[in-house]
Chains A and B, each alone.
Chain A
Amino acid sequence: MLATGLTLYLLSKEIYVINHETISGAVVLSLAVYGIKKYGPAVAAFADRLMEEELARFESLKGAYIAGCEKGIEDEKKQQWRVEGRHYLFDAKRNNIAMILEANYRERLLTASREVKKKLDYQVALQQLKRSMERDHMINWVEQSVWQSVTAQQEKESIAKCILDLKALSKTAQASL
């Protein structure tokens, strides 16, 4: 309302003169309106996108920091849990060492017993050897004394007796056949 009245007043009283600048102003105005209508939203969206990217950069930085802190918390909790479970490790190690000591002890026990057995076996073998040597020696001595005691006379008599026995036996053998 005011614009129409004001414009008509200015024009009729030639306070605002229509000259070449009016035409050029009209052209510039129409070009400006056309440009803004056509490219306005695109430029606005572009500017908004620039701002969004900037904000997103900062937000991502903040998010990264927060994530890092949270991860640190998680890691700390895990570390605390690990500390609680340390006694398992120590028990296992203790058992391990005990087992090794036991095995070692048994091994040494076995070695010692083997050594003792070897010594005892030696003594037994020694005794047996002595006994067998004594036996052999006695047999030899007995044989030798028997051979020596059998004189020539007795030898002849025993041979004749054997021949008589053999003849008698042969007779009985023939008779049984």
Chain B
Amino acid sequence: MNENLFASFTTPMMMGVPIVVLIIIFPSILFPSPNRLINNRLATVQQWLIQLVSKHMLSIHNYKGQTWALMLMSLILFIGSTNLLGLLPHSFTPTTQLSMNLGMAIPLWAGTVVMGFRHKTKASLAHFLPQGTPLPLIPMLVIIETISLFIQPVALAVRLTANITAGHLLIHLIGGATLVLMNINPVTALITFIILILLTILELAVALIQAYVFTLLVSLYLHDNT
């Protein structure tokens, strides 16, 4: 452990040049745009995957909500690909930075809220008061609902950041433990290695699931407000 544990989470600089923009743009070249009628295997599989996901995710929306299809699909692809690429060694995951996740969550959430207020003002305001509350509780309940509304973007961002960062930290810690234990007691090192394998599988799942959850929640907020 020559560097501290949080070295992988600093903004990547190469010879003093921030290449974080390049790292964020990088996953886009892994998704070739289908140019022909019959594409290569990668493009075909991706096309099929995107069709599957979009069909499931947009089936609950009406016409107005389905205009967000491009946004939601690119969101899930971006988060999924950056999370998966972050599992490689010596890589930087943009989604571990709270700044970036807030930058994704707040505009999307604000977009759905503003759209809801513009098009269905009464229904949006009615969301603040659940049905069937007894009269004395109304003021408190309105305050609570307002707080829960404003916490949505923060929750979205922090959820993603915390999950990915925690996963990466665990991988680094257990990897370091395996490294150190190899000299002391190889058997324990083997056990730790197996734990690492399981953890990596978990992280793969978490990477994909977090992307899905993020997009799903945005789509849910959209559904409420269309």
User: Which of A's residues lie within 8 Å of B, judged by CB?
Assistant: 17-25, 27-28, 30-31, 43-44, 46-48, 50-51, 54-55, 58
Contact = CB atoms under 8 A, between A and B. Distances in A.
Contact of A21 (B42, B90, B200, B201): B90
Nearest to B41: A47
A58 B41 CA distance: 18
Interface string B190-206: 00010011001100100
A47 B172 contact: no
Contacts of B8: 21
Nearest to B196: A27
For this complex, into which size category does the number of interface residues on chain B fall? 20 to 34
B2 interface: yes
Contacts of A23: 175-176, 178-179, 193, 196
Nearest to A49: B44
Contacts, number: 76
A27 B200 contact: yes
Interface of B: 1-3, 8, 37-39, 41-42, 44-45, 48, 87-90, 171-176, 178-179, 193, 196-197, 200-201, 204
B176 A19 contact: yes
A18 B37 contact: no
Contacts of B37: 54, 58
Nearest to B173: A20
